[in-house]
């Protein structure tokens, strides 16, 4: 089953009230571009298989 297409404009319309941002129409093309880059990169992260018990590293000790 293929994933539904990501609609950046819909997110840009929906999110500002939730996070308290005033819509900046002039910023829409750039925000959209950055969202699309993030979605492409997120796929690399989200698709990577990790065990349920793998620990995040919020306070990181190399």
Partner 1 sequence: MTAPLHALSAHELRAALIGGKASAREIVEAALARIGALDPRLGAFTDVTPERALAKAAEIDAKRASGKTLGPLAGAPFAVKNLFDVAGLSTRAGAKINRERAPARRDATLIARLEAADAILLGALNMGEYAYDFTGENVHDGPSRNPHDLERMTGGSSGGPGAAVAGGLVPIALGSDTNGSIRVPASLCGVFGLKPTYGRLSRAGSFPFVASLDHLGPLARSVADLAASYDAMQGADAADPAQSARPIEPAAPSIEAGIAGLRVARLGGYFARGGEPAAHAAVDRVARALNADRTVEFPEAERARAAAYLITMVEGAALHADRLRTRACDFDPDVRDRLIAGAMLPGAWVVKAQKLRRWVRDRVGEIFRDVDVLLAPATPTRAPRIGQKTFMLDGREMLVRPNMGLFTQPLSFIGLPVCAIPLWSEGERLPIGVQAIAAPWREDLVLRVARALERDGVARAPVGEPK
**Which single residue is written with the structure tokens 């065990």?**
51
What string of H, E and C letters represents the secondary structure of 1-52?
CCCCCCCHHHHHHHHHHHHCCCCCHHHHHHHHHHHHHHHHHHHHHHCCCCCC
| 11-40 residues near partner 1, rule: CB under 8 A | 11-12, 15, 19-22, 24, 27, 30-31, 34-35, 37-38
61 binds partner 1 (CB under 8 A): yes
- Name the residues that contact partner 1, by CB under 8 A: 11-12, 15, 19-22, 24, 27, 30-31, 34-35, 37-38, 41-42, 44-46, 48, 50, 54-62
């Amino acid at each position: 089953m293929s994933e539904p297409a990501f609609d950046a404009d819909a997110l840009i319309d929906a999110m500002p009230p939730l996070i308290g941002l005033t819509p900046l129409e002039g910023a829409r093309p750039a925000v959209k571009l950055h969202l699309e880059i993030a979605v492409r990169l997120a796929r690399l992260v989200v698709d990577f298989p990790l065990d349920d018990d793998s620990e995040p590293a919020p306070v990181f000790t190399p």
